Chains A and B, each alone.
Chain A
Amino acid sequence: MALTLEEQPKVTLKERATKLNESLKGSQAWNSIFRPGSIFRKGYTDSPRNRSYVIMNSVLYHLHPVKVKRHAVKVSYTLCLGGLSFFLFILLTVTGIFLMFFYRPTATNAWQDIQSLQTSVTFGLMVRNMHRWGAHLMVLSVFLHMARVFYHGAYKAPREFNWVIGVILLTLTLLLSFTGYLLPWDQLALWAVAVGTNMMGYSPVIGSQVRFVLLGGVEIGAETLLRWYVLHVLLFPFITVIFLAVHFWRVRKDGGISGPL
């Protein structure tokens, strides 16, 4: 019995894995997913050509060029602030989608939903904390990014318009944060928003009208919660994504980031 076993060619696990890997990489499905030249098709060994292919044959090409100025990769110049702002935006989108599963924007349910999210949903408290602290962190990082750009004089020609877009994005960040502030529907949220929106009413000519539209009435109420929910999870993120796209596109078209000093 042992003899017959030995006579048969042994197929080791490693060989099987190699064979599976080869048939997978040769399949039409695999080749339809990854472009010719993708490192997932041809493997990666460190060479200048492959370094280019990593960017060129992946979706990253939408965000980054194949090569950047040497000084542009210095962390001491950018402090990563713009990139971190964008990353926090993604983090907030992911955690925000999670929160949406457990939240109803009505005056009777909102607070109770947050309460039960924290007490009876797995990781609910954790994700809510990350969303909240991430939001404050994003306001901070966007603000610091603006200060960094100003101190480097990076808004000068040909980057004037991208600075204007940046200021719009800063405003959108504040609006996103402020609309989200109301959603827990607790005492903190209600009265912070009351203070904030009271100021808005003093704008000349259109102040009271804008306030009426935003609040869905003359005072904050159940209508306000629904409106700000839609603004927070849909309208402002949508506008922000559009401006982000233009912002990143202009960074590349204006010749990469500014500098060196």
Chain B
Amino acid sequence: MTEIPEHLLKRAKAARDKSAAESGAGEAASGAASDSRIPEELLNRSKAAAAGGVAVAERVATGVATTAPNGNAPLGTGPGGHTQRLLTVVKSGSIQDVKAVPVDKVHTWPHLLGPEFVAALACTAFTFLFSWFVNAPLLQAANFNQTPNPSKAPWYFLGLQELLTMFHPMIAGVTLPGVALISLMLAPYMDRNPSNKPEDRKFLTSIFTVHLMFWAVLVIIGSFFRGPGFNFTFPWRDGIFFEL
């Protein structure tokens, strides 16, 4: 048995109390029904319905029998004595998104929030433990007169710095990363293939992987295989010239 929410219970109780209070007062006021705004005919009908329900059937029967609206019929009664008309039929498809195939869904709590919480906890634990054992670097205070050799950019820019050894700075530092960034943004508009299945996207997947590998290799070379003067070294021979 599902429990009824507390606010609904409260609302129901309030409504019940109100109606109880009104029915007490309503008995007294029933004599003054003539100044109610509800047409007397309708009031009579509802009274009759409350009495037995037969009166409603009679009323409908007389309505159908007297094909023309008579004095008794409410205002706006149709030729058949009908008091309701079908104005229009709105098919559900035109105003709401009807899913032909129901989507298989699960509750966010606990099926999504649970793993999210565990992942956040694991991430915090990892960062905490790593910070426990490895200290962030802090070298000597900045000194404009003493350029360290080699000077390296942060690791994610080392691919660019690596390109600087091969191309003019304008190409390596601006054009290539700019083109990469813009083509990355435009990727969804250039990729006209609607499928997201890996077997249909072999070409693009390969291209992207090659780019990622190219970038990763440049970063690794820049990080570990560049020594004094940004010359090529082997980390196992000359040591690592790299701070994170």
Residues of A within 8 A of B (CB): 36-37, 41-42, 45, 47-49, 51-55, 60, 64-73, 75, 80, 83-84, 87-88, 91, 107, 111-112, 114-115, 118, 125-126, 128-134, 136-137, 139, 143, 147, 150-157, 159-160, 163-164, 167-168, 171, 174, 177-178, 181, 184-192, 194-196, 198-200, 202-204, 207, 258-259, 261
Contact = CB atoms under 8 A, between A and B. Distances in A.
Nearest to B197: A261
Interface of B: 2-3, 5-7, 103-113, 115-116, 119-120, 123-124, 127-128, 130-132, 134-144, 146-148, 151-157, 160-161, 164, 169-170, 172-174, 181, 184-185, 187-189, 191, 194-198, 201, 205, 208, 212, 243-244
Given A87-B123, A196-B153, A258 B185 contact: no
A132 B127 CA distance: 10
A164 B127 contact: no
Contacts of A153: 191, 195-197, 201
Contacts of B197: 153, 261
B131 A126 contact: yes
Contacts of B244: 132, 136
A111 B134 CA distance: 20
Contacts of B135: 125, 129
B157 A160 contact: no
A199 B174 contact: yes
A88 B124 CA distance: 8
A207 B138 CA distance: 31
B191 A156 contact: yes
A150 B138 contact: no
A142 B80 CA distance: 71
A261 B161 CA distance: 38
Given A150-B187, A154-B196, A186-B142, A91 B108 contact: no
A151 B185 CA distance: 15
B142 A52 contact: no
Question: Which of the listed residues B148, B151, B189 has the most CB atoms from chain A within 10 Å of its own CB?
Answer: B151
9 contacts: A67-B108, A68-B111, A84-B119, A111-B142, A115-B138, A156-B196, A163-B187, A186-B139, A202-B173
A196 to B, nearest CB: 5
* Closest CB pairs A-B (n = 3): A199-B173, A153-B196, A36-B7
Contact of A64 (B108, B191, B194): B108
Given A51-B109, A111-B141, A181 B173 contact: no
A188 B137 contact: yes
Nearest to B174: A203
B243 to A, nearest CB: 5
B110 A51 contact: yes
A87 B119 contact: yes
Given A66-B108, A133-B127, A167-B185, 10 more contacts: A67-B107, A70-B104, A73-B115, A128-B136, A137-B123, A164-B188, A185-B142, A191-B147, A191-B148, A199-B161
A69 B105 contact: yes
Nearest to A74: B115
Contact of B7 (A37, A111, A192): A37
A181 B154 contact: yes
A164 B185 contact: yes
Nearest to B107: A51
Contacts of B191: 153, 155-156
